[in-house]
Amino acid sequence: VTQSSRYLVKRTGEKVFLECVQDMDHENMFWYRQDPGMGLRLIHYSVGEGTTAKGEVPDGYNVSRSTTEDFPLRLLSAAPSQTSVYFCASKGTGNNSPLHFGNGTRLTVT
Amino acid sequence: TQLLEQSPQFLSIQEGENLTVYCNSSSVFSSLQWYRQEPGEGPVLLVTVVTGGEVKKLKRLTFQFGDARKDSSLHITAAQPGDTGLYLCAGYTGTASKLTFGTGTRLQVTL
Protein backbone atom coordinates (compact mmCIF):
# COMPACT_ATOMS: atom_id res chain seq x y z
CA VAL A 1 0.00 0.00 0.00
CA THR A 2 1.56 3.26 -1.10
CA GLN A 3 0.78 6.70 0.25
CA SER A 4 2.76 9.17 -1.80
CA SER A 5 2.94 12.02 0.70
CA ARG A 6 4.64 11.54 4.08
CA TYR A 7 4.18 15.11 5.30
CA LEU A 8 1.74 17.85 4.30
CA VAL A 9 1.16 21.32 5.68
CA LYS A 10 -2.02 23.10 4.62
CA ARG A 11 -3.85 26.23 5.63
CA THR A 12 -7.39 26.33 6.96
CA GLY A 13 -9.88 26.19 4.10
CA GLU A 14 -7.53 24.62 1.55
CA LYS A 15 -8.34 21.45 -0.34
CA VAL A 16 -6.29 18.38 0.49
CA PHE A 17 -5.83 15.27 -1.64
CA LEU A 18 -4.26 12.15 -0.13
CA GLU A 19 -3.35 9.39 -2.54
CA CYS A 20 -3.50 5.69 -1.77
CA VAL A 21 -2.64 2.91 -4.19
CA GLN A 22 -2.46 -0.84 -3.58
CA ASP A 23 -1.10 -3.51 -5.90
CA MET A 24 -2.42 -6.60 -4.10
CA ASP A 25 -5.80 -6.69 -5.88
CA HIS A 26 -7.56 -6.32 -2.54
CA GLU A 27 -11.28 -5.67 -2.60
CA ASN A 28 -11.39 -3.78 0.69
CA MET A 29 -9.72 -0.45 1.37
CA PHE A 30 -9.84 1.87 4.35
CA TRP A 31 -8.82 5.31 5.55
CA TYR A 32 -8.00 5.79 9.24
CA ARG A 33 -6.82 8.76 11.22
CA GLN A 34 -4.54 8.34 14.21
CA ASP A 35 -4.48 10.77 17.10
CA PRO A 36 -2.63 10.40 20.43
CA GLY A 37 -4.47 8.20 22.91
CA MET A 38 -7.25 7.36 20.47
CA GLY A 39 -5.81 4.54 18.42
CA LEU A 40 -7.00 4.42 14.82
CA ARG A 41 -10.42 5.73 13.89
CA LEU A 42 -12.09 4.71 10.65
CA ILE A 43 -13.01 7.58 8.32
CA HIS A 44 -14.35 5.86 5.19
CA TYR A 45 -14.00 2.47 3.62
CA SER A 46 -14.78 0.58 0.44
CA VAL A 47 -15.62 -3.09 -0.09
CA GLY A 48 -15.03 -2.99 -3.83
CA GLU A 49 -14.69 -0.86 -6.92
CA GLY A 50 -17.53 1.66 -7.15
CA THR A 51 -18.49 1.37 -3.48
CA THR A 52 -17.82 3.61 -0.49
CA ALA A 53 -19.18 3.72 3.05
CA LYS A 54 -18.88 5.94 6.10
CA GLY A 55 -16.82 4.93 9.06
CA GLU A 56 -16.71 6.29 12.57
CA VAL A 57 -15.55 9.86 11.78
CA PRO A 58 -16.58 10.68 8.18
CA ASP A 59 -17.51 14.36 8.48
CA GLY A 60 -15.31 16.69 6.44
CA TYR A 61 -13.88 13.87 4.33
CA ASN A 62 -14.74 12.47 0.92
CA VAL A 63 -13.58 9.30 -0.87
CA SER A 64 -14.07 7.60 -4.21
CA ARG A 65 -13.22 4.14 -5.55
CA SER A 66 -13.15 4.29 -9.33
CA THR A 67 -10.64 1.44 -9.63
CA THR A 68 -9.62 -1.48 -7.44
CA GLU A 69 -6.15 0.01 -6.94
CA ASP A 70 -6.94 3.62 -6.00
CA PHE A 71 -8.73 4.98 -2.97
CA PRO A 72 -7.97 8.70 -2.52
CA LEU A 73 -9.09 10.76 0.45
CA ARG A 74 -10.18 14.37 -0.04
CA LEU A 75 -10.63 17.18 2.44
CA LEU A 76 -12.70 19.84 0.69
CA SER A 77 -11.96 22.53 3.27
CA ALA A 78 -9.21 21.66 5.73
CA ALA A 79 -9.69 22.54 9.40
CA PRO A 80 -7.17 22.53 12.29
CA SER A 81 -9.17 19.67 13.87
CA GLN A 82 -8.14 17.54 10.91
CA THR A 83 -4.47 17.75 11.87
CA SER A 84 -3.58 14.10 12.27
CA VAL A 85 -1.72 11.15 10.83
CA TYR A 86 -3.71 9.46 8.07
CA PHE A 87 -3.31 5.81 7.20
CA CYS A 88 -4.63 3.99 4.18
CA ALA A 89 -5.03 0.20 4.38
CA SER A 90 -6.23 -2.66 2.24
CA LYS A 91 -7.53 -6.12 3.05
CA GLY A 92 -8.21 -9.20 1.03
CA THR A 93 -11.29 -11.38 1.24
CA GLY A 94 -11.76 -13.60 4.27
CA ASN A 95 -13.08 -12.59 7.65
CA ASN A 96 -9.73 -12.70 9.40
CA SER A 97 -7.47 -11.32 6.71
CA PRO A 98 -4.97 -8.78 8.02
CA LEU A 99 -4.98 -5.13 7.12
CA HIS A 100 -1.98 -3.97 5.11
CA PHE A 101 -1.13 -0.37 5.91
CA GLY A 102 0.71 2.36 4.12
CA ASN A 103 3.33 4.37 6.01
CA GLY A 104 0.96 7.22 6.75
CA THR A 105 0.70 10.91 5.93
CA ARG A 106 1.20 13.46 8.68
CA LEU A 107 -1.11 16.37 7.88
CA THR A 108 -0.84 19.67 9.69
CA VAL A 109 -3.54 22.29 9.14
CA THR A 110 -2.59 25.77 10.28
CA THR B 1 -17.66 5.70 20.30
CA GLN B 2 -14.54 3.77 21.23
CA LEU B 3 -15.53 0.13 21.51
CA LEU B 4 -12.14 -1.18 22.58
CA GLU B 5 -10.28 0.18 25.59
CA GLN B 6 -6.66 -0.77 26.16
CA SER B 7 -4.72 -0.57 29.39
CA PRO B 8 -2.27 0.63 30.33
CA GLN B 9 -1.97 3.51 27.91
CA PHE B 10 1.78 3.81 28.52
CA LEU B 11 4.28 1.33 29.89
CA SER B 12 7.99 1.88 30.46
CA ILE B 13 9.93 -1.14 31.69
CA GLN B 14 13.46 -2.49 31.77
CA GLU B 15 14.81 -5.27 29.64
CA GLY B 16 13.98 -8.69 31.07
CA GLU B 17 10.74 -7.69 32.79
CA ASN B 18 7.38 -9.27 32.02
CA LEU B 19 4.27 -7.28 31.14
CA THR B 20 0.62 -7.69 30.22
CA VAL B 21 -1.51 -5.43 28.05
CA TYR B 22 -5.29 -5.62 28.22
CA CYS B 23 -7.94 -4.99 25.61
CA ASN B 24 -11.53 -4.74 26.88
CA SER B 25 -14.94 -4.14 25.37
CA SER B 26 -18.63 -4.52 26.14
CA SER B 27 -19.15 -5.81 22.61
CA VAL B 28 -18.68 -9.32 21.31
CA PHE B 29 -16.16 -9.73 18.50
CA SER B 30 -16.12 -12.47 15.91
CA SER B 31 -12.34 -12.29 15.92
CA LEU B 32 -9.64 -10.06 17.34
CA GLN B 33 -6.25 -9.04 16.01
CA TRP B 34 -3.16 -7.53 17.59
CA TYR B 35 -0.91 -5.15 15.66
CA ARG B 36 2.42 -3.50 16.48
CA GLN B 37 3.33 -0.12 15.10
CA GLU B 38 6.79 1.41 15.03
CA PRO B 39 7.46 5.15 14.59
CA GLY B 40 6.90 6.39 11.06
CA GLU B 41 5.29 3.17 9.90
CA GLY B 42 1.86 1.63 9.65
CA PRO B 43 0.70 -1.11 12.03
CA VAL B 44 1.74 -4.68 11.26
CA LEU B 45 -0.32 -7.72 12.20
CA LEU B 46 1.04 -9.93 15.00
CA VAL B 47 -1.78 -12.42 15.50
CA THR B 48 -5.45 -13.19 14.97
CA VAL B 49 -7.55 -14.99 17.59
CA VAL B 50 -10.92 -16.38 16.66
CA THR B 51 -12.24 -18.81 19.28
CA GLY B 52 -13.26 -17.82 22.81
CA GLY B 53 -10.55 -18.91 25.25
CA GLU B 54 -7.99 -19.31 22.48
CA VAL B 55 -4.33 -18.86 23.38
CA LYS B 56 -1.66 -18.22 20.77
CA LYS B 57 2.06 -17.88 21.26
CA LEU B 58 4.50 -15.97 19.09
CA LYS B 59 7.99 -16.49 20.58
CA ARG B 60 7.91 -14.48 23.83
CA LEU B 61 4.43 -13.05 23.16
CA THR B 62 1.31 -14.84 24.41
CA PHE B 63 -2.13 -13.73 23.21
CA GLN B 64 -5.40 -14.79 24.79
CA PHE B 65 -8.98 -14.24 23.64
CA GLY B 66 -11.55 -14.06 26.41
CA ASP B 67 -14.10 -16.84 26.78
CA ALA B 68 -16.95 -14.46 25.93
CA ARG B 69 -14.96 -12.94 23.02
CA LYS B 70 -15.22 -9.46 24.58
CA ASP B 71 -11.64 -9.05 25.74
CA SER B 72 -8.07 -10.06 25.03
CA SER B 73 -4.64 -9.85 26.59
CA LEU B 74 -1.08 -9.74 25.37
CA HIS B 75 1.66 -11.00 27.67
CA ILE B 76 5.33 -10.42 26.89
CA THR B 77 7.93 -12.47 28.72
CA ALA B 78 11.45 -11.09 29.24
CA ALA B 79 10.87 -7.92 27.26
CA GLN B 80 13.61 -6.70 24.95
CA PRO B 81 14.29 -3.23 23.48
CA GLY B 82 13.09 -4.56 20.13
CA ASP B 83 9.60 -4.95 21.64
CA THR B 84 9.30 -1.18 21.91
CA GLY B 85 6.35 0.16 19.95
CA LEU B 86 2.63 0.88 19.96
CA TYR B 87 0.47 -2.19 20.44
CA LEU B 88 -3.06 -2.06 19.07
CA CYS B 89 -5.86 -4.54 19.44
CA ALA B 90 -8.59 -4.55 16.82
CA GLY B 91 -11.82 -6.48 16.51
CA TYR B 92 -14.29 -7.47 13.85
CA THR B 93 -17.94 -7.13 14.78
CA GLY B 94 -20.99 -7.55 12.59
CA THR B 95 -19.47 -6.21 9.39
CA ALA B 96 -16.70 -8.60 8.48
CA SER B 97 -14.85 -6.03 6.43
CA LYS B 98 -14.66 -3.32 9.08
CA LEU B 99 -12.08 -3.47 11.85
CA THR B 100 -12.39 -1.38 15.02
CA PHE B 101 -9.14 -0.46 16.74
CA GLY B 102 -8.40 -0.06 20.41
CA THR B 103 -6.91 3.02 22.03
CA GLY B 104 -3.37 1.60 21.96
CA THR B 105 -0.62 0.83 24.48
CA ARG B 106 2.74 2.48 23.99
CA LEU B 107 5.53 0.26 25.31
CA GLN B 108 9.11 1.36 25.90
CA VAL B 109 11.72 -1.19 26.91
CA THR B 110 15.05 0.18 28.10
CA LEU B 111 18.38 -1.49 28.75
- Give the pLDDT confidence score for residue B98 in this predicted structure: 78
Q: What are phi and psi of B93, to 5 degrees?
A: -110, -130
- pLDDT of B44 over the 90 cut: yes
Contact A95 B30 (CB under 8 A): yes
Chain A residues touching residue B99 (CB < 8 angstroms):
30, 42, 91, 99
Contact B92 A102 (CB under 8 A): no
Mean pLDDT of B80-94: 91
Nearest to A31 by CA among A99, A79, A81, A109: A99
Distance CA A87, CA B99 (A): 14
Contact A101 B43 (CB under 8 A): yes
- Give the pLDDT confidence score for residue A38 in this predicted structure: 80
User: Per residue in A51-97, pLDDT tens?
Assistant: 999 998 999 999 999 999 999 999 999 999 999 999 999 998 877 88
Query: Do B85 and B69 form a contact (C-beta atoms < 8 A)?
Result: no
Query: Do A7 and A24 form a contact (C-beta atoms < 8 A)?
Result: no
Contact A95 B31 (CB under 8 A): yes
- Give the pLDDT confidence score for residue A39 in this predicted structure: 85
Chain B residues touching residue A102 (CB < 8 angstroms):
42
Contact A38 B97 (CB under 8 A): no
Query: Do B50 and B33 form a contact (C-beta atoms < 8 A)?
Result: no
Task: Kindly report the nearest CA distance between residue A75 and chain B, in angstroms.
Answer: 21
- Enter the DSSP assignment of B53: T
